[in-house]
Structure formats: C-alpha cells, structure tokens
Amino acid sequence: MIELKSVSKSFGTMVALHETDLCLEAGKTTALIGPSGCGKSTILRLIIGLLEPTTGTITIEGHRVSAAEILTLRRRIGYVIQEGGLFAHLTAGQNVLLMAKHLKRPLGEMQTRLGELCELTHFPEKALSRYPVELSGGQRQRVSLMRALMLQPSVLLLDEPLGALDPMVRTRLQDDLKEIFQSLQQTTLLVTHDMAEAGFLASRIVLLNEGRVVQSGTLDDLRTRPASDFVRDFLHAQRGLTEV
Amino acid sequence: MKSLSILLTVLAFCSTAQPQPIMVGSKRFTESYILGEIAKTALRNAGFTVEHKQGMGGTIILWQALVGGDIALYPEYTGTISQEILKTKQPLSTDEIRGLLREKGVGMTGELGFDNTYALVMQRDRADKLSIHKINDLREHPELNVGLTHEFLDRQDGWAPLSARYALQMRNVRGIDHALGYAALANGSIDVKDAYSTDARIAENNLIVLDDDLHFFPQYKAVFLYRLGTDARAVTALEKLAGTLDTARMTRLNAEAERTKNYALAAAVYFGKKPEPVAGQLAGKILRWTWQHLQLVGASLFLAIIVGIPLGIRASRPGPISDFILSATGVIQTIPSLALLALLVPLPFFGIGPVTAIFALFLYSLLPIVRNTATGLQDIATAVRESAAALGLEPQAQLWKVFLPLASRTILAGVKTSAIINVGTATLAALIGVGGLGEPIISGLNLNDYSTILQGAIPAAVLALLVQFFFDGLELVFIPRGLRLKQR
C-alpha cells in the first residue's frame, strides 16, 4: 500500500501539486490521468524519491520515504519511463541484470529470472545481446519493463510507458501489460493521458487537474457520475470513448 | 609506466649521483652556449664531473637557478649584472659589483677579456642609402621598422631609456626573437635590430653597427658568476680563463659554432684541441630525443588524467566550485610556456629539470580533460540520470556503472586533445635542459639553421599523428560498443 498524507510540491512560487491525500490499494492497478502539467508525473517522482515533497509524508508499505531509506525502497520499486531510460552502453540483458549484479545475486538465479522475464514480456531471448540502439521502440519498453521487474518489486511505477509508441505496438503492449499486472498482482501506479488505456489497465482511475485530484473511481464512475464539468469535458475530449 | 620510469630516473639522480656533478648553466644564445662549454671543459680538465644545461632561458631564469642552487655557475655580463640583477642606476666598478654579489652568496670571476655590448645593427646597403651611420641618425627616419628582442625591449638599459636619451620617435617597434630577427632584417621586414657586438652574424650578413655616439650602452664584460660554496679548485680553474678571450677571438668562436653548429667544437677550438668526433648518428639522436619526448608527454598526461577526470567530475555539478575549477584550468592555458617556466623554476621543489617540465606540461594538459569530463557528464539525459537513481544504485555506483561509461567518448576525446597538444608543448622542456624534440628546434632557432629545426619539428609532427592513431585505436577498447553503433 502506498499512502500520501497532505503531500504538496512547489517549485519556487509554482505549485505543481496542492496538498493531496491519496491511498493506493495493495495489489491493485491505479491510473493517474490528466492533462499535461496536472501533477501526475510529480506524484510518481515524489514516491520514488526523485523529488522531495514540500509538505506531507509518503509511506510505502509502512516505510516512510526518506533520505535514509530511499535506496532500500527504490530496490523494492520497479520504475519505467516513457523513453525507457535504458543505458546505451549496456546490452538489453546487461541493462536488465545491472542492479542484480550490483547486489551480487547468484548467477544461476539471475539467469533463471532473465528467462522468466523474457517469457513474461514476450521479449526474444536472442535479442538480449543487442544494444538499445539496435532495438525497436516497443522492444526497448519491454527491456525497460524487464529491468523494473528483475528484483521482483512489490510496487511498480510506470510513467507514460507506452507514450512514444505507434498504435499497433501500443495495443499489443497494452494487452501484455494487462496480463502481467494480473499475474503479478503488484501495487501498480500508471501515469497516462489516455483514458481508454487507463480504463483498460487500471481498476481505479485518479483524474488530476492543475495540481489537484478532481475525481477518483472506476472509468464507469467517471463516465456516469462526473464530479465536475472538467471531468465531463476531459472524457468527451478522448475521442471514441463516449461512443463506447 | 613511462611516468614511473621518469620518476625513478629523477630519484636515482637525486640519491645516487656521487660525487655531485658541477652544473653549468647558459643563456639562450650562441655565445653563452660556447662560454658554458668552455667552463665545462676547463672544470673537467681540473678533474671535476661537470654537466652543462644549455640554453636555459634569459637572465632572470639563470640568476634564480644560480641562487636556488640548481646550477653552480653560468656566464654573465657586467652590464647585465648591474642593470638587471643589482638594478643600480649609476655605473658600478668591478669591485663594487663583486661586493654586492657577495651579499647574495654569489662570486664573480675576473673579466674574460671581450666586451660584448649591445648594439643596433642595419643592413649595410640600406644604411648607406639612407646615410645612417650613428644611432643619432635614426632621428631623421622615424618611419623605419625596428625589431627588438623581448629582453632588450624590457631592459633597464634597453630600448625605452635608449630612445629617451637619443630622443628617437620610432613609430614601428616590435618584439621578435633574436635569431628570427636576422632573417627579418635580411628580407627587409625590419630595418633595425639589436645585437651583441661580438655576434658573428654582423660580419656574415654584411650588417653595420650603428655608432653609439652618446655612449649610452654600458660595458658588457663577460665573466662567470658562481655560487660562493663552489669548490675552491673549481673557482681557480675558472679564474684561469680571465683575460684569455678578446673580442676578435670571441667573434671567431661564435662564427665557428654557427658554421659547424657545434658548441662543444667551438670550445675545443678555444682550448686549441682537435674536437672529439661527434657522438651518435642523426637517427640515434632523433630516437633519443623522441624517447625523452615520449616520457615527458606520457608522465604529464598520466598525471593530468588522474587529476583532471576527478576535477571534471566535480565540475560537472553546478555551483561556484565548478566555475572556479573551469576558470582556473582555463587561465593556466593562457600563461605563455616561457612565463610558466620562469614562475616554476625559482620554486623550492622545482628548479631546472624533468620535474618542472612535467609539471608545466601537466598544467597545460588539464583543460581539455577537465572540460570534456564535465561536459560529457552534463550531457547525459535527465531520463537516463533518473533511471539510474530510481534503480536504487548508490551515487558512486551511478557514476562508475552508468555515467562515466556513457561520457567515455567525450572524456577520451579530451584526453586525445591533451595528448596531441602536449606533444607540441613538450618542446618547451628543452628550454630547461630536459631534452626532447625541442632540443634541435631551439638550437636550430639560435643558429638560424632550418635543417636543425626540422630534425625536431618533423619527428614532433609525426609523433602527434601517431598519438592520434593510438587514441583512435584506444577508442575501440575504452568506448563501449553500444555507444559506437549507429541508431537503427
């Protein structure tokens, strides 16, 4: 379970996130959605400690996110970003294994895990020896996902993981992600700006605007009982969704 | 490894050389080289082990080296001693000079005989055409181009007081190297230059000495300056040289040295002996110079890498310390090499020798390495930076496992730039007697002899190319394959 209590974040006079309380249920997938600059990525970066909150506290499974604990916490969190953030000097396999090797995990265990991950993410094992520049955009995201899952984290954070992919690849990866979320049952937080993707992958949707949570619930809740004109307009703007 | 071998050599020099050889210094012009060789031979004949550090620099460098104990003696001129070293306004007698020098722990031998005063010279035909025979005549020709050595431009008995005394209004005055000045005089780019009255090139190049009709130039009698602690038998051997070199004889020796391009031979002629056969063929000499050169470059580059990369890592983070590191390494780069050597030589640990040369080269090598390391690290994309942190890697591990490998291409490019520049700059080592390919370049400049210059310049250029190829090869080893591949 991840809990944000009275968490806010300002950069100088600019408020990125107003005081927010948010609770993410263990084992469930939650989607953060909203227009650009609404504060959704800020929440993700606060949870993994890349940003420090201006006020409030964040706890992950009872452990407070703090400088002293951050390394331990980060090793229990998988983090995937839009462009993958792969390290260009390492092969796909080396990217996935980097952290496990750093922690001196047994070699056999690492190899077995790598095989499992390839199967789980539908990544061809023979492509593990390729460098990031030799992979397609979709393959890079699969490698990034494998890297995030390598240490069997209890929390998975995904920041627009499919944002830069073309529609065909994107749909295929959405199917794969759904399968993975269902089989792993981790506490997952997905940032996206695509309501259909949010509805497809997440059991709960949190809609943000201008640094505040506007409404949270299932896609159906948002569609049938919008809390404000903004919610209605935001759903309407997602072409095709209202006709479903 | 190269640096290690140089360090060991230096240590070996410091600890095992028994008895300590007497170090003779000389300034960067033919006559000083010859006088240094004469002193070396005289002392060797008296049974001493002697080393001659040829052409170490100008007055200040030699004087500092003498006072600092890097050398035991060097040839100097009375006019220079009173004007530049003792900085007196009125002329001093020989005894007065000797007394003032003793207070500084320095002794002076008797005068060798000749008077090598400064003089202004012109091409004979040009002077005849303009009917200039005396310095006074220059007043009628303020349009003439004057090319002076930098030392003469700045000396207390140099250009400024000379023009004041003669009320000269020359409009075009610039500084030019002594040896190059003769070439400039010959092709007409300058009309007037300074020279020494015993300079063999005055007769050789058909120049005339302008008459010092107001007797401005003080007397420049040649003597040897030595440290007062020097062995009394050595001083006696030097004193025996007093009064043995008149102007005609000195001029002849200067001419001999320039003709044969061999200072030791000129000294041998003074002692009336047949010269020893020239040791070593050209190829052997070039190999030796190249090897010395490589050791200097290797040692200084190695130091620059182990200091420069950490500095660059620190400078990649924003803040005042980084600004300071980058500006400081930049400022070092603007110090001319001669000035840097002049600053280092008087310092306790440095003096004349490989340590000073390596340290100067090390300083010059820092900028490209520091700057490229900082830039390479700053250029890493935020997404990659945050991914490394989000994985849970400690800051040190982020640096070693991710950031440095990603910046390796830029860092190696900085090291390569440093290495190539260093090959060129290392020629300065010859100024303080450390050898390398600068040795033929500097003596060639002094002798105005292009073939000697090329003996150093061509191998240096080839070396720069080889260093470049070497680093191109190194890229295959040090830059991860993933960074060398083209985007699909």
For helices A107-121 and A137-149, give the axis angle rounded to 10 degrees: 130
Please give the single-letter amino acid code of residue A6: S
> What is the distance in angstroms between the Cα of A155 and the nearest Cα belonging to chain B?
12
Six token digits for residue B161: 């007081």
How much is the pLDDT for A241?
Answer: 60
DSSP letters spanning B350-404: -SSSHHHHHHHHHHHHHHHHHHHHHHHHHTS-HHHHHHHHHTT--HHHIIIIIIH
> According to the model, what pLDDT value does residue B92 have?
77
Q: What is the largest CA-CA distance in chain A?
A: 56
Of A8-17, A172-181, B250-259, B366-375, give the lowest mean pLDDT range.
B250-259
Task: Report chain B residues whose CB lies below 8 A from the CB of A74.
Answer: 389-392
Please give the Cα distance from B425 to B333 (Å, whole number).
11
Residues in chain B, total: 488
CB pairs under 8 A between A and B: 75
B66 touches B223 (CB < 8 A)? no
Measured distance CA(B184)–CA(B453) in Å, rounded: 17
Please give the radius of gyration of chain A, using alpha carbons only, rounded to the nearest integer.
18
Q: Does B395 touch chain A (CB under 8 A)?
A: no
Spatial distance between the Cα atoms of B88 and B99, rounded to a whole number of angstroms: 13
Contact B482 A133 (CB under 8 A): yes
- Give the chain B residue whose CA is nearest to the CA of A147: B391
Residue of A nearest to B383 (CA): A85
pLDDT digits (tens, 9 = 90+) for A176-203: 999 999 888 899 999 998 888 999 999 9
Q: Which of B350, B487, B298, B341 is nearest to B428 (CA)?
A: B341
| In the predicted structure, residue A227 carries a pLDDT above the cut 80 | yes
Q: How is residue B410 written in tokens? A: 């830029």
Nearest to A102 among B389, B393, B488 (CB): B393
Q: How far apart are CA B436 and CA B225, in angstroms?
A: 28
Angle between helix axes B282-315 and B438-447 (nearest 10 degrees) is 120
Of all residues in chain A, what percent carry a pLDDT higher than 90? Answer: 69
pLDDT one-digit tens code per residue, B169-205: 998 888 877 877 887 888 888 899 999 887 878 877 8
CA distance linking residue B201 with residue B198, whole number of Å: 9
Does the pLDDT at position B280 exceed 70? no
Per CB-CB distance under 8 Å, the chain B contacts of A89 are 402, 405-406, 408, 480, 482-483
Residues of A in contact with B394 (CB under 8 A): 71
Q: How far is A137 from chain B (nearest CA, A)?
A: 10
A131:B485 CB<8 A: yes
Cβ-Cβ contacts under 8 Å, B402 against chain A? 87, 89
A15 touches chain B (CB under 8 A): no
Say whether pLDDT at B460 is over 50: yes
ipTM given for this complex = 0.90
How far apart CA A187 and CA A47 sit, in angstroms, is: 13
The pLDDT of B229-251, averaged and rounded, is 87
- Determine the 3-state secondary structure of B261 from DSSP: coil
Contact B206, B185 (CB under 8 A): no
- The answer to whether the CB atoms of A99 and B386 lie below 8 A apart is no
Position B326: which residue type? Answer: L
Per-residue confidence (pLDDT) for residue B50, from 0 to 100: 92
CA distance B212 to B220: 14
Spell out a b/e string for B404-442, using b for 16 or more CB atoms within 10 Å of the CB, else e. bbbbbbbbbbbbbbbbbbbbbbbbbbbbbbbbbbbbbbb
Q: Are A79 and A157 in contact (CB under 8 A)?
A: yes
- Could you say which of B383, B397, B485 has the minimum Cβ distance to residue A134? B485
> What token pair was written down for B242?
């007093």
- For the stretch B299-326, pLDDT in tens is 999 999 999 999 999 999 999 999 999 9
Residue A96 CB contacts under 8 Å (≥ 6 apart), including other chains: A114, A117, A128, A143, A146, A147, A150
Contacts of A45 (CB under 8 A, 6+ apart): A51, B386
DSSP helix/strand/coil, B273: coil
In chain A, which residues have their Cβ closer than 8 Å to the Cβ of B391?
74-75, 79, 98-99, 147
Q: Which structure tokens are listed for B132?
A: 């200039």
Q: Which of A37, A34, A44, A38 is nearest to A4 (CA)?
A: A44
Distance of alpha carbon A39 from alpha carbon A17, whole angstroms: 6
Measured CA to CA, the distance from residue B225 to residue B72 in angstroms comes to 8
Q: Full-prediction pTM beyond 0.80? A: no
Q: Is B397 on the interface with A (CB under 8 A)?
A: yes
Is B487 an 8 Å CB contact of chain A?
yes
CB contact (8 A) between residue B383 and residue A83: yes
> Looking at chain A from residue 40 to 99, which residues have their Cβ under 8 Å from any Cβ of chain B?
45, 48, 50, 71-75, 77, 79, 81-83, 85-91, 98-99
Yes or no, beta carbons of B481 and A99 under 8 Å apart: no
Nearest CA in chain B to A73: B392
pLDDT of residue B196: 84
From chain B, pick out residues whose CB is under 8 angstroms from the CB of A77.
Answer: 390, 392
Q: Are strands A2-11 and A55-60 parallel, antiparallel or unpaired?
A: antiparallel
Q: pLDDT tens digits, residue range B214-233? A: 888 888 889 999 999 888 89
CA–CA separation, B475 and A65 (whole Å):
42
Q: How far apart are CA B36 and CA B235, in angstroms?
A: 14
Contact by Cβ (8 Å): A96, A114: yes
Q: Does B476 reach chain A within 8 Å, measured CB to CB?
A: no
CA distances to A46, A64, A198, B258 from A144, rounded to whole Å, are: 20, 26, 20, 73
CA-closest candidate to residue B195, choices B29, B440, B27, B431: B29
Q: For residue B234, is pLDDT > 50?
A: yes
Residue A42 has pLDDT above 90, yes or no: yes
pLDDT for A239 equals 64
Which chain B residues touch A93 with a CB distance below 8 Å? Answer: none
- CB of A36 within 8 Å of a chain B CB? The answer is no
Could B405 and A134 be called an inter-chain contact, meaning their C-beta atoms sit closer than 8 Å?
Answer: no
Mean pLDDT check: name the lowest of A96-105, B141-150, B374-383. B141-150
Helices (H), B175-281: 178-187, 201-204, 232-239, 247-260, 263-270
- DSSP at B83: I
Q: Do residues B263 and B26 make contact, with C-beta atoms less than 8 angstroms apart?
A: no
Task: Provide the 3-class DSSP secondary structure of residue B36.
Answer: helix
Mean pLDDT of chain B: 86
Would you say B383 and A81 are in contact if contact means Cβ atoms under 8 Å apart?
yes
Task: Report CB contact under 8 Å: B391, A132.
Answer: no
Mean local confidence (pLDDT), A78-97:
92
Residue with tokens 């539908």: A122
User: Any chain A CB within 8 A of the CB of B228?
Assistant: no
Three-state SS letters, A103-171: CCCCHHHHHHHHHHHHHHHCCCHHHHHCCHHHCCHHHHHHHHHHHHHCCCCCEEEEECCCCCCCHHHHH
The bridge status of strand A63-64 relative to strand A55-60 is: antiparallel
Cβ distance B62 to B33 under 8 Å?
no
Shortest Cα distance from B416 to chain A (angstroms)?
Answer: 21
H or E stretch covering A2? strand A2-11
% of chain B with per-residue pLDDT over 70: 92
User: From its phi and psi, is residue B476 left (phi > 0), alpha (psi between -120 and 50) or beta?
Assistant: alpha
- Residue B82 has what DSSP assignment? I
- Tally Cβ neighbours within 10 Å of residue B324: 11
Strand partners, B106: B227
- pLDDT-based confidence at residue B257 (cuts at 50, 70, 90): confident
3-class DSSP assignment, residue A235 = helix
Residue A242 has pLDDT above 80, yes or no: no
Residue B287 tokens read as 């190999």
Report the C-alpha gap between B234 and B227 in whole angstroms. 11
Residue that is written with structure tokens 């496990």 in the block: A100
Q: Do A85 and B480 touch (CB under 8 A)?
A: no
Residue B155 DSSP label: -
> For residue B191, which of B145, B141, B245 has the smallest C-alpha distance?
B145
> For A50, which of B384, B390, B482 is closest by C-beta distance?
B390
CB contact under 8 A, B390 and A89: no
